[in-house]
Amino acid sequence: MAADDHPKAADRGLTLHVGLAALLGCVTTLIWGASSGTSNYYWPVWVWLGLGVILGLHVAVLIARRTPSNRRAIAVHAWLTGLLDLALVVVWLAAGDGTFWAGWPLLFLQALLAVHALIAFRHMLPPLGRQRELEQRVDELSRTRRGALDAQATQLRRIERDLHDGAQARLVALSLQLGRAEERLRDDPETAVLVRQAREEATAAIGELRSLARGIAPPILSDRGLAAAVEALAIRAPGEVTVSADPGPRAPVAIETAAYFVVAESLTNVAKHAPGASATVSIRRTNDDLIIEVTDDGPGGARSDGSGLTGLRRRVAALDGELKVTSPPGSGTTIHAELSCGS
Amino acid sequence: MRVVIGEDNALLREGLVALLREHDIDVVAQAQDAPGLLRTLNAHKPDLAIVDVRMPPDFTDDGLRAAIQARRQRPELAVVVLSQYVEPAYTAELLASGEAGVGYLLKERVSEVREFLETIARVAAGGTALDREVITELVRAHSATPGGEDALAALTPREHEMLALMAEGRSNAAIARTMVVTQGAVEKHVSNVFAKLDIPQTNDAHRRVLAVLTFLRARTDG
């Protein structure tokens, strides 16, 4: 309450000051009128000037006390300059001198104020050219980052395809040849064992390449698109999963892959932290945005800073998307992600 | 047995043709892309088609789609689909696509020559053969469901192996050979598995695959 009382007391002080000054000025004018008549030189103008300057200083003190400290100096400076300007003009008018000698000091005072203002507000008003340059740079970086991520996702799929048609296919052909050789070596069991071991090595290598390829880009995603890939995730998931996927026209590869991994990671979390809970996956498109939501009826209370969710959030953020986790204890968990498909 | 092969990779196609011919299987034609496969199947009307999932023109699941389409036109066509990855979602599509035998295997299974030949013979005769990887995926999913873990946990490692071999559509004799035990021992194991999982028992290999699959998917499909 003190903060409220204080300005009120100050305002009362100012009102009293204005009243007293007006009274004093009027009394002086009356004395002038009574003593020498109205045709004489109006000397009380100097009294009015003195009273006005003192009142102006009073107001300056009040401004200084009420203005936040970062703008106090410039506010008081502006007020005092205005006061001095007025005083100079009044003095010039009262003196009745012909030439406008007050011009130069007025110019000097305004120039001083202008320099002060430029220094005081230089942070708030960055030069226009620099700002435009920065905006262009941000646009360019957003565009090239999206381009780089799209290129990366496309390249990863190409690597998956190259593995499939290249190394994996060759290894399958190799193991097939080894299998045929093994068949012909029935009369030479010792050599047959060697060939079998070689075939098993080839098979193990195929298995490793397969898990590598699946981590890069699940084949069903590139084969059949997001809706089918998410349905397939639901089939693999241990709990009950209801899918409603309407992702619209196919999104850029990077967006599609990110959306897939949001669902995959969320369903893994459901299996891990809410076993037995049923989950709902919803994917829909509004204009340019792909909206992914995975909800479960588990115990909730998920830590949104867990490594899985942090990884997802980064993946989504890199595409200028948003990922929100709502998980109040006792009422399930919702992962909500929005990805823009526009470029 | 008359067989058509659909595979775009020349090395694999030739290897497969050589393997089958070595074992007196009649490879009547080969196709390198999905439209070619459909034409070939219409022209030759084979007993069995061995088809790669990823093929031209789209290099996605063209082979699988062609195989399913061919089975709709000729439900008696048996199909073995080969792929470098297994997708449980594709299993259901294949099983629903026709009455004749169906197989879904990882490509590297062709290198286990004797098992592979047995598998295609079984599928040509109307049987079902799912890769053990499909079963592994479904078992993993199933074990994580409440209650599912208990049922599967009751199985011994030996019985787990048995479950996978049954899902591959093998006969008791084939299982006995693979596990190097007597056929009598296999029969005992099989009835144990069925009793523990509470699945109605049957000795028909094809029905057995479906029973195992139904059991594994009962809860996972929700």
A108-148 pLDDT, tens digit per residue, is 999 999 999 888 887 777 667 888 888 899 989 988 998 89
Asked whether residue B36 falls in the same domain as residue B119, the answer is yes
Of A168, A203, A210, the CB nearest to B111: A203
Stronger pLDDT, A38 or A76, i.e. the higher one: A76
Q: Tell me which of A105-114, A289-298, A331-340, B138-147 is least confident.
A: B138-147
Output the tens digit of pLDDT for each of chain B's 222 residues: 999 999 999 999 999 999 999 999 999 999 999 999 999 999 999 999 999 999 999 999 999 999 999 999 999 999 999 999 888 888 888 888 888 999 999 999 999 999 999 999 999 999 889 998 887 777 777 666 655 666 777 788 888 888 888 888 888 888 888 888 898 888 888 888 888 877 777 767 777 777 777 777 654 443
Domain of residue A115: give its range.
Answer: 2-120
Asked whether residue A165 falls in the same domain as residue A245, the answer is no
Return phi, psi of residue B205, to 5°: -60, -45
**A100 band by pLDDT with thresholds 50, 70 and 90:** confident
Q: Which residues of chain A neighbour B140 with C-beta distances below 8 Å? A: 238
Question: CA of A137 to nearest chain B CA: how many angstroms apart?
Answer: 39
Q: Which residues of chain B neighbour A207 with C-beta distances below 8 Å? A: 108
> A-contacting residues of B 165-204, CB under 8 Å?
none
How confident is the model at residue B170, as a pLDDT?
A: 83
Asked whether residue A300 falls in the same domain as residue A318, the answer is yes
Q: Do B110 and A179 count as a contact with CB atoms less than 8 A apart?
A: yes
Q: Which residues of chain A neighbour B16 with C-beta distances below 8 Å? A: 176
Q: Do A173 and B220 count as a contact with CB atoms less than 8 A apart?
A: no
Under 8 Å between Cβ of B206 and B99: no
How confident is the model at residue A37, as a pLDDT?
A: 63
Asked whether residue B89 falls in the same domain as residue B15, the answer is yes
Of A223, A228, A275, the CB nearest to B146: A275
B65 at interface of A, judged by CB pairs closer than 8 A: no
Report the CATH number at residue B203: 3.40.50.2300
Q: How many CB contacts within 8 angstroms connect chain A with chain B? A: 111
For residue A3, is pLDDT > 70?
Answer: no
B115 at interface of A, judged by CB pairs closer than 8 A: no
How confident is the model at residue B196, as a pLDDT?
A: 82
How confident is the model at residue B149, as a pLDDT?
A: 62
How confident is the model at residue B217, as a pLDDT?
A: 64
**A4 band by pLDDT with thresholds 50, 70 and 90:** very low
Q: Do A219 and B112 count as a contact with CB atoms less than 8 A apart?
A: no
B110 at interface of A, judged by CB pairs closer than 8 A: yes
**A92 band by pLDDT with thresholds 50, 70 and 90:** confident
Q: How many domains, in total, are found in chain B?
A: 2
Q: Do A180 and B15 count as a contact with CB atoms less than 8 A apart?
A: yes
Give the chain B residue nearest A242 (alpha carbons): B222
The residue count of chain A comes to: 343
Residue A274 lies in a domain: yes
Return phi, psi of residue B23, to 5°: -110, 30
To the nearest whole number, what is the mean pLDDT of chain A?
88
Of B61, B141, B222, the CB nearest to A223: B61
For residue A286, is pLDDT > 60?
Answer: yes
Sign of CA dihedral A200, A202, A207, A211: positive
Asked whether residue B43 falls in the same domain as residue B74, the answer is yes
- For residue A195, give Cα distances in angstroms to A1, A169, A190, B15: 93, 19, 9, 17
Amino acid letter, residue A28: T
Average pLDDT of span A182-203: 95
| Residue where a domain stops, chosen among A216, A244, A263 | A216
Asked whether residue A268 falls in the same domain as residue A335, the answer is yes
Asked whether residue B184 falls in the same domain as residue B121, the answer is no
Of A168, A180, A222, the CB nearest to B19: A180
How confident is the model at residue A342, as a pLDDT?
A: 77
Q: For an interface test with B, which of A174, A223, A281 has the most B Cβ atoms less than 10 Å from its Cβ?
A: A223
Residue A125 lies in a domain: no
Burial of A75: CB neighbours in 10 Å, binned 0-12, 13-18, 19+: middle
Q: Do B222 and A176 count as a contact with CB atoms less than 8 A apart?
A: no
Asked whether residue B25 falls in the same domain as residue B9, the answer is yes
How confident is the model at residue B139, as a pLDDT?
A: 74
Asked whether residue A234 falls in the same domain as residue A328, the answer is yes
Largest CA-CA distance found in chain B, in angstroms, rounded = 51
Residue A327 lies in a domain: yes
Q: Do A213 and B220 count as a contact with CB atoms less than 8 A apart?
A: no
> How far apart (Å, rounded) are the C-alpha atoms in residues B4 and B34?
13
Instruction: Give the tens place of pLDDT for each residue, A46-83.
Output: 888 899 999 999 998 888 888 888 888 888 999 999 99
Asked whether residue B101 falls in the same domain as residue B123, the answer is yes
Residue A130 lies in a domain: no
Residue A127 lies in a domain: no
| Residue where a domain stops, chosen among B101, B130, B159 | B130
Q: Do B89 and A231 count as a contact with CB atoms less than 8 A apart?
A: yes
Q: Which residues of chain A neighbour B113 with C-beta distances below 8 Å? A: 179-180, 182-183
Q: Are strands B102-106 and B78-83 parallel, antiparallel or unpaired?
A: parallel
Question: CA of B68 to nearest chain A CA: how many angstroms apart?
Answer: 15
Asked whether residue A103 falls in the same domain as residue A74, the answer is yes
Q: Do B85 and A214 count as a contact with CB atoms less than 8 A apart?
A: yes
Asked whether residue A40 falls in the same domain as residue A104, the answer is yes
CA neighbor of B74 nearest in space, from B49, B45, B53: B45
How confident is the model at residue B40, as a pLDDT?
A: 97
| Residue where a domain stops, chosen among B63, B97, B130 | B130
**A1 band by pLDDT with thresholds 50, 70 and 90:** very low
Asked whether residue A44 falls in the same domain as residue A109, the answer is yes
Alpha helices in chain A (DSSP H): 2-36, 44-66, 69-95, 103-120, 128-163, 169-184, 189-216, 219-224, 226-236, 253-273, 307-317
Report the CATH number at residue A246: 3.30.565.10
Domain of residue B212: give its range.
Answer: 134-220
Give the chain B residue nearest A272 (alpha carbons): B144
Asked whether residue A6 falls in the same domain as residue A115, the answer is yes
Asked whether residue A103 falls in the same domain as residue A167, the answer is no
Q: How many domains, in total, are found in chain A?
A: 3
Asked whether residue A104 falls in the same domain as residue A204, the answer is no
B142 at interface of A, judged by CB pairs closer than 8 A: yes
B111 at interface of A, judged by CB pairs closer than 8 A: yes
| Residue where a domain stops, chosen among B99, B130, B161 | B130
Asked whether residue B51 falls in the same domain as residue B39, the answer is yes
How confident is the model at residue A306, as a pLDDT?
A: 78
How confident is the model at residue A2, as a pLDDT?
A: 43
